[in-house]
Structure 1
Amino acid sequence: MAQLELRRAVADLATRTETLRAQESRLRTVFETIYQFQGLLTRDGRLIDANAVSLKAIGCTEADVSGLPYCDTPWFLGTPGMRERVQGWVAQVAAGQDVREEFDLNLPGGTRTFDFAMRPVRSTDGTVVGMVPEAVDVTERRSAEAQLRQSQKMEAVGQLTGGIAHDFNNMLAVIVGSLNLLQRRLAKGETDVSRYVDAALDGADRAAALTHRLLAFSRLQPLDPVPVDANRMVTDMSDLLARTLGETVRMETVLSAGLWKAHADPSQLENAILNLCVNARDAMPDGGRLTVETANAHIDGAYGRENAVEPGQYVLVAVSDTGTGMSPEVVARAFDPFFTTKGVGKGTGLGLSQVFGFVRQSNGHVKIYSEPGRGTTLKVYLPRFHGPEGAPDEAEPSGTPNGSGAETVLVVEDDERMRACSVESLRELGYVVSEAGGGAEALRLVEGGRTFSLLFTDIVMPELTGRELADRMVAMLPGMRVLYTTGYTRNAVVHNGVLDAGTHLLPKPFGMDQLAEMVRTVLDS
């Protein structure tokens, strides 16, 4: 009986041994033929095994690398800085932590990109007894992704340039056509030409608005952030919004008590709210309900990392509608410039892109929630203003729009036609005006004994920038005021899209009314 049990035990052991050998053979086959690079290390980071794919990449046999510290193996020695990185990973995994990295390696066949992971091997009691490194060659995948991104970028550029060309050509056609008609009528001695002047000015105003919207999308517009009471702003805009939305849209406001002040440019925030409400109205062709809501909000670290926004306290302004809603595909493209689902002539496709650019430039966040047939909510998060509760709101400009007849203005502009237009406009407004085509010429006037009440200078100029010129002239004429102008905003007086404190900027293009108001404001400040 004992012998029979012994034979059975031996037979059972033989069966288990054969099973283990078969399992080991299968695992070895997988290990050797798996697509990814794989190996096995001791607890102190020495290589004791590597599969065929890994060895083929460096042209070595297992005997060549077995027993070497992993950081000293040929996989890493050809890439500067990798030895130290691998040493750090070994220490991290030995302490029981996982490693996940992506990096480039210089291998005999060229530079390759790897998605790499290294994990601890533990005994039954949880002690780390080894580690398993594995890597997947993602070079081709990353290359394909880069090509796709480039293709998408070119598609977006094509959409952007096509939209700009279409809209600008329409506006230029109005301007050129109106001026041609004006020229012909004046040549005939006709004086009833105001409609042509009005049409040309309207086309120019629309072109200027388009450039401002593009700058907003590109986050290049100059912002002047101040503490803003969003509740008060929404309340003050109620009449305007009601007229804009029409009778078929019922508007509601839900304003939070104890609302923090937002840190934002008030005029741009007003434009953003108006754009969102107009979009909501257009999504409800048969009427519906539109809700403007404010609230205090907190963005935590997890959401911030996922959406590339700084965690912290924000002021929320949300606009919701009961309209047609958007599909996920439309939501994904909603902020693209010139993308629109509206019919021809019913939208520029710049409204939401302008909102997006303004909010992101303000270090805020914007999010769309939408379902087809159920409506849309668009949430704007603006940073909370951290300062005294009594911080003053933006002051209204004071004084009259015209000059006194004794105030002197120096216009510095390298573009001759632009300079001539500014000079004539300022003279028309009652100022004594001198001009210079650049910084050196302007300095010579001051060095010759001339004094000026105001320096009106372009920023981007040869020789001296407008900022450099202003610094030197104010040192010579301490009481002189400075007003900058530019058609572009990434320059010396705008830092990260925000105007320096005390800086006055009149963006091009500008009309005579804007010029009159800004010059008067600066002189009276």
Structure 2
Amino acid sequence: MIVEDDRVDQMALTRALEKSGDPVTYEIAETLAEARSLISSRDFDCAIFDFHLPDGTVVEHLSRRQGEPGRARDLPIMVVTGAEGENEGVSSLQQGAQDYLLKKELSANGVRRAVRYAIARNKIARELEATIKRGEQADRLDSIGLLGGELAHDLNNKLAVVEGNTLAALEDLGDEHETTRVKLRKVLKATAHSVELIRQVLAFSRQQTMTPRPLDLSEAVADAATVLREVLRGAAPLELRLEPETTAYLDPRQLSRVLLNLITNARDALTQASNPRVILSVRSEGDEVVIEVEDNGAGIEPELLGRIYDPFFTTKDDAESTGLGLAVVHGIVSQSKGSILHRSQPGAGTRVVVRFPRAAGVGPQAKPPAGLARAGEASQRTILVVDDEEDLNELLAQILLREGYSVLTAFSAEEALEVYRDAPRIDLLFSDVRLPGMQGPELAKQLYALQPDLALVLISGFADSSRAVQDVVALGGAFEHKPVSRQRVLELAEVALGIRPDPQG
């Protein structure tokens, strides 16, 4: 686009463009108002502005466009000026122009060079701006995640006490107290909702413990197809495009959460689509496995794309929406050493591209639980419970004692080592991950070195040492996020001790 009110200068510019050797088409505007109108309705690669125009200067236009939508703001601008000096050109650069030329020096080669330079410089500037924004977003997510993870740890401990004592109260109350039992069940329901919210916080903060294994993503998607179609609720057919050799190291449960969130978002975007569709594809690209979810729904406004991974940000009117869905997906993907990118245009749908490192080979399988070969009854087993939260320590001990186990307790790893040395025998260590001083995983490894048939269970509301936890899992130990229900506490103990198989696989 050429913005010039002088006909002689218009001819000079058009002649220079035509002689430059580059195939070029152009529109001419003679005022700032005409230029803005053309910019709002057409896509241009570059604009050449005269510095002085009947309704203002190019500096005024450059200053004004900073608050305008992306097309107007991001258009590269080259300025031509008839002034003798270079002050006007320099002031244009300071306001965001990419280059300037003096009218007396116009030539085909000069215009071609300046236009190419303006386009290239603008592209670099936009990429740098996007990189900075991504860095700021990553720092923001890290800060929120750190705070969220710490809060999750403390809240999980408290919720575990609430849930455990509520369940105990329900067991103690007879049928004649049905009104009270109804109220207690409401407490349990609210606790369950809180637990799920905390799990989402742990996910986006990338501080949850994962159990990755070699997983064929095409097979996993095919297995999940029935559930994913149910999530769509008939809003659109789900088209699968699955290729072979798509193995990556992932936690299957976390992959399911990623797929469910992305398909749910695709469904919610289809309300106005005339011929709605959702395409879910899995393929290999070099050293990566790529999952894509594409819809032809409403799309996302450019100014919102930079915020979609922010925790608690949502554009949905649904009161049930927490704004954590994509924050959770981003956290899971990042923790799995992957990447995620949203490509979207308003009215033209959205494509989400998720990339994971491709598995080079199948790693060693974890050993079976240490106590699997030792079948026996609870009354014959001794469990060492270690947790620095006094109420939770007492609750865990009560749950296990009621089942008939012998229980010893400690509030730190150092105290646990003393208890272990004084006890005739301990069959199971049931420990929190985060303890004052020595941490739970290190305690587990030290006791395992002393007693290789010791069963190991770790629990935590905030696993900030996932590698250390995985070391314990590799020894045949189990890990569970807090809060852990009474039933799950007993299941973990029985599975670790070989009394029963794990109902959760």
TM-score by length of 2: 0.60
Match of 1:507 in 2: 481
Match of 1:328 in 2: 302
User: In structure 2, how many angstroms separate the alpha carbons of the residues matched to 1:223 and 1:444?
Assistant: 31
Aligned in 2, Cα 1:498/1:283: closer, same or farther, shift over 3 Å? farther
1:89-488 map, 5 Å:
153=140, 190-256=177-243, 258-285=244-271, 288-298=276-286, 313-388=287-362, 404-488=378-462
Aligned in 2, Cα 1:517/1:254: closer, same or farther, shift over 3 Å? farther
Deviation at 1:520, TM superposition (A): 3.3
| Amino acid of the structure 1 residue aligned with 2:194 | A
| Amino acid of the structure 1 residue aligned with 2:261 | N
Aligned in 2, Cα 1:372/1:246: closer, same or farther, shift over 3 Å? same
Aligned in 2, Cα 1:157/1:382: closer, same or farther, shift over 3 Å? closer
**Cα deviation code 1:348-382 (max 9, x no counterpart):** 11111111111111111111111111211111111
**Cα deviation code 1:65-114 (max 9, x no counterpart):** xxxxxxxxxxxxxxxxxxxxxxxxxxxxxxxxxxxxxxxxxxxxxxxxxx
Deviation at 1:195, TM superposition (A): 3.1
Q: Is the contact between residue 441 and residue 468 of structure 2 (CA under 8 Å) also seen in structure 1?
A: no
Aligned in 2, Cα 1:157/1:404: closer, same or farther, shift over 3 Å? closer
Aligned in 2, Cα 1:402/1:493: closer, same or farther, shift over 3 Å? farther
**Cα deviation code 1:24-50 (max 9, x no counterpart):** xxxxx99xxx99xxxxxxxxxxxxxxx
With 424-433 and 362-371 compared, the bigger mean Cα shift is at 424-433
Q: Is the contact between residue 314 and residue 382 of structure 1 (CA under 8 Å) also seen in structure 2?
A: yes
Q: Could you tell me the percent identity over the aligned residues?
A: 30
User: In structure 2, how many angstroms separate the alpha carbons of the residues matched to 1:368 and 1:254?
Assistant: 19
Q: What number of residue pairs does the alignment pair up?
A: 354
Q: Is the contact between residue 397 and residue 409 of structure 2 (CA under 8 Å) also seen in structure 1?
A: yes
Q: Is the contact between residue 340 and residue 354 of structure 2 (CA under 8 Å) also seen in structure 1?
A: yes
Deviation at 1:232, TM superposition (A): 1.8
**Cα deviation code 1:172-199 (max 9, x no counterpart):** 9xx89x97xx99xx79962354432332
Aligned in 2, Cα 1:195/1:247: closer, same or farther, shift over 3 Å? farther
| Amino acid of the structure 2 residue aligned with 1:213 | Q
Aligned in 2, Cα 1:285/1:194: closer, same or farther, shift over 3 Å? farther
TM-score by length of 1: 0.58
Q: Is the contact between residue 297 and residue 316 of structure 1 (CA under 8 Å) also seen in structure 2?
A: yes
| Amino acid of the structure 1 residue aligned with 2:185 | D
The alignment yields a C-alpha RMSD, in angstroms, of 4.3
| Amino acid of the structure 1 residue aligned with 2:451 | L
Aligned in 2, Cα 1:270/1:344: closer, same or farther, shift over 3 Å? closer
Deviation at 1:275, TM superposition (A): 0.9
Match of 2:119 in 1: none
| Amino acid of the structure 2 residue aligned with 1:282 | D
| Amino acid of the structure 1 residue aligned with 2:277 | R
Q: Is the contact between residue 441 and residue 472 of structure 2 (CA under 8 Å) also seen in structure 1?
A: no
User: In structure 2, how many angstroms separate the alpha carbons of the residues matched to 1:513 and 1:475?
Assistant: 30
Aligned in 2, Cα 1:424/1:296: closer, same or farther, shift over 3 Å? same
Match of 2:13 in 1: none
Q: Is the contact between residue 403 and residue 429 of structure 1 (CA under 8 Å) also seen in structure 2?
A: no
Q: Is the contact between residue 235 and residue 267 of structure 2 (CA under 8 Å) also seen in structure 1?
A: no
Aligned in 2, Cα 1:286/1:518: closer, same or farther, shift over 3 Å? farther
| Amino acid of the structure 2 residue aligned with 1:472 | Q
* Higher Cα Rg, which structure: 1
Kindly indicate whether structure 1 or structure 2 has the higher relative contact order, using CA contacts under 8 Å at least 6 residues apart.
2
The runs of 5 or more residues in structure 2 that have no matched partner are 1-84, 92-128
| Amino acid of the structure 2 residue aligned with 1:489 | A
The runs of 5 or more residues in structure 1 that have no matched partner are 1-28, 36-141, 299-312
User: In structure 2, how many angstroms separate the alpha carbons of the residues matched to 1:286 and 1:394?
Assistant: 52
User: In structure 1, how many angstroms separate the alpha carbons of the residues matched to 2:373 and 2:249?
Assistant: 28
